[in-house]
Amino acid sequence: MMVNRRNSIVKSITNLTNQLHENLNYNYPSYKKFFSDVNSKTALAFYEKYPSPKHLKGVTDEELAEFLRKPSHNSCSTRKAREILELVESDGDTTREYQEFRDFIIQSTVRDIAFKSEEIKKVEVEMKKLLKLLDLKLETIPGIDTVTAIALVAHIGDIKRFRNADKLAKFSGIAPVNFSSAGKGKDKKSKQGNRELYGVFYFLAVQQIQVSKKGTPRNPVFLEYYKRKVSEGKTKIQALVCVMRRLNNIIYGMMKNKTEYILPDMEVKQIA
């Protein structure tokens, strides 16, 4: 229920952001150089106060910098403000017919994005409350945040309806289907199961084998497990599915027993 609500808000923000890009492109042709993220608090504050260049007439570098310091938490310098004003000047006159109403649309869109962004935060607070109420500690797994944890809970439901981890794997579509011919068996990917839950497990598996720019693995145990499966002759996709299946087993146990995830000792490599 809350997952659907959050997804709905995210989809709405995406649509609003696309509208904002379209309108800003006319008023500020160089707007993409102003801020790295058009949905950041600093950018939204700027576009609500200055929806078009005419609102910047007479505004000095220092005045603009002073205004932007609050939403940017003092990270916006006078130099940055000067760069924005110079870009606006280089774009020339972008005033069009009914500019006042075009400006209003931008301001309204910005307010809508800001409101919905706050709503997402509120939904995530409630998600945390629900996890605590259910006494689930899925967030102790590296790479699982509140949203991912709630998505798992929403798609899995009552863990007691699955007799064992194999049943959960079959439900999620992770368990392979065996096709036998002339006494020879071959595993193939199941096309059945909950595709959304499969997607959550896939995303989580990718998270487990990620390595930071500094070379630090997010989960060294799973990365080692993944590499071992590849060295055994599995393709990267097959090895990733092995990680998904292992995660399935761990999450099943955590949800059933209300336990935390404890990163195994790397010296003990019994994770197959």
Q: For 75-86, what is each residue's pLDDT tens digit?
A: 999 999 999 999
In this structure, are residues 149 and 2 in contact, taking their beta carbons and an 8 Å threshold?
no
User: 154-163, 177-186, 214-223, 246-255: which has the minimum mean pLDDT?
Assistant: 177-186
Q: Identify the pLDDT of residue 44.
A: 98
Structural domain span for residue 186: 136-257
Question: Are residue 253 and residue 149 in the same domain, yes or no?
Answer: yes
Task: Mark whether 227 and 246 lie in a shared domain.
Answer: yes
Q: Are residues 86 and 22 in the same domain?
A: yes
* pLDDT of res. 180: 46
In a domain, 270, yes or no: no
Q: Looking at the domain assignment, is residue 269 inside a domain? A: no
Residues 115 and 159 in one domain: no
The answer on 187 and 110 residing in a single domain is no
**Partner residues linked to 211 by β-bridges:** 217
**Contact at 8 Å (CB) between 185 and 164?**
no
Q: Verify that 152 and 49 share a domain, yes or no.
A: no
C-beta of residue 141 within 8 angstroms of C-beta of residue 264: no
- Domain boundary pick from 63, 94, 125: 125
Residue 265 forms part of a structural domain = no
My answer on whether 105 and 217 are in the same domain is no
Shared domain check, 140 and 121 = no
Whether residue 115 is found in the same domain as residue 11: yes
* Per-residue tokens: 156: 């899995």
**230 vs 45: CA distance, rounded Å:** 49
For 40, left (φ over 0), alpha (ψ -120 to 50), or beta? beta
Q: Is residue 262 part of a domain?
A: no
* Residue 234 falls inside a structural domain: yes
Look at residue 266 in the predicted model and tell me its pLDDT: 61
Q: Which of 93, 125, 157 is the last residue of a domain?
A: 125
Q: Of the candidates 95, 125, 155, which is a domain's last residue? A: 125
**pLDDT score of 253:** 97
Number of domains in the chain: 2
CA distance 262 to 270: 14
Let me know if residue 200 belongs to a domain: yes
Angle subtended by helix axes 99-134 and 41-49, to nearest 10: 150
Q: Which residue has the higher pLDDT, 263 or 111?
A: 111
Asked whether residue 93 falls in the same domain as residue 163, the answer is no
25 and 63 part of one domain? yes
DSSP label at residue 28: -
37 within domain boundaries: yes
| Residue 40 belongs to a domain | yes
Q: How does pLDDT run across 236-264, given as a tens digit for each residue?
A: 999 999 999 999 999 999 999 999 999 87
Same domain, 118 and 213: no
